[in-house]
């Protein structure tokens, strides 16, 4: 059975006091409530150790927002898979559209990173999705196919089972514009079918595919109710405990 996951991507937000406060609020929420999904957060890299301390019993999974494609060495500013493994991080986002847009990350880089993460026992959350122009010109299915094939299809069946995929249409990120549940479901099903065609249905059915892009308390439940949507990767609404909690509760019937 694949997992339901709600993951909060904090991006470049919050100073240390604010970050600590939100972590303690999340810990309290998690202790008081039973959730029907796993809850993970991806705070800025400098707060990862703090997050591991706060969630010392793994109440909430801790993810990096990115990870180097190199194992170690003279790569100023980068963090490695080995470093993340050494703090017992749950995993890392890979290929977020903001990394692609502002830092030139490509599907081939993502392929290397996904493998490195898996080798260290980290869960890669591979982010992909089309731009507005690509959707408007009807290329979205092809674009997503290419992204999935290049970044993931060199993996073995055992490896790909451990990957989480996050479909995040670029036009829905931080814009307040969400893909409709039907639009999201279409792509999620497309991704699962691509994986089934390559690795078989049993493997495809084990992979969690999250939706990201303006998920809010008032649309989470409907999005999560789609058959191929196994949770969300949440940006802005993950920065307030009340909103994030309501999104998590999108999995409560
Ligand atoms: P928003 O939820 O702010 O649209 O961001 C989505 C996202 O990019 C999560 O990684």
Ligand 1 within 6 A of CB of 169:
no
Structure token pair of residue 155: 């993996």
- 189-208 pLDDT per residue, tens: 999 999 999 999 999 999 99
Q: What is the mean pLDDT of the chain?
A: 97
Q: How far apart are the first and last CA of the chain?
A: 18
Percent of the chain surpassing pLDDT 90? 96
- Residue ranges per structural domain of the chain: 5-251
Query: For this structure, is 140 an active site residue?
Result: no
User: How far is 50 from 62, CA to CA, in rounded Å?
Assistant: 10
Ligand 1 within 6 A of CB of 129:
no
| Burial label, 131 (beta-carbon count in 10 A; 0-12, 13-18, 19+) | middle
pLDDT band at residue 176 under the 50/70/90 scheme: confident
Residue with tokens 């792509």: 187
* CATH superfamily, domain at 5-251: Aldolase class I (3.20.20.70)
Averaged over 133-146, what is the pLDDT? 96
Cβ atoms < 10 Å from Cβ of 204: 21
Residue 253 has pLDDT above 80, yes or no: no
Query: For this structure, is 96 an active site residue?
Result: yes
The region of weakest confidence among 133-137, 170-174, 247-251 is 170-174
pTM: 0.97
Phi-psi label, residue 35: left if phi above 0, alpha if psi -120 to 50, beta otherwise: beta
SS3 145: helix
């Amino acid at each position: 059975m694949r997992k339901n996951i709600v993951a909060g991507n904090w991006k470049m937000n919050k100073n240390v006091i604010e970050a600590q406060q939100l972590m303690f609020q999340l810990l309290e929420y998690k202790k008081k409530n039973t959730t029907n999904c796993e809850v993970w957060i991806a705070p800025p890299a400098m707060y990862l150790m703090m997050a591991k301390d706060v969630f010392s019993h793994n109440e909430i999974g801790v993810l990096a927002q990115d990870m180097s494609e190199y194992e170690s060495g003279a790569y100023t500013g980068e963090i490695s898979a080995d470093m993340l493994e050494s703090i017992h991080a749950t995993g890392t986002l890979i290929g977020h559209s903001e990394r692609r847009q502002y830092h030139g990350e490509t599907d081939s880089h993502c392929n290397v990173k996904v493998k490195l993460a898996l080798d260290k026992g980290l869960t890669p959350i591979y982010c992909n999705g089309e731009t507005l122009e690509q959707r408007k010109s009807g290329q979205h299915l092809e674009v997503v196919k290419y992204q999935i094939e290049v970044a993931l299809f060199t993996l073995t069946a055992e490896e790909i089972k451990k990957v989480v995929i996050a479909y995040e249409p670029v036009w829905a990120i931080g814009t307040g514009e969400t893909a409709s549940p039907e639009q999201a479901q279409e792509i999620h099903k497309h991704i699962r079918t691509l994986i089934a065609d390559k690795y078989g249905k049993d493997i495809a059915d084990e992979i969690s595919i999250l939706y990201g892009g303006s998920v809010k308390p008032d649309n989470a439940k409907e999005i999560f109710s789609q058959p191929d949507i196994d949770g969300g990767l949440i940006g802005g609404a993950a920065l307030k405990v009340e909103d994030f909690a309501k999104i998590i509760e999108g999995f409560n019937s």
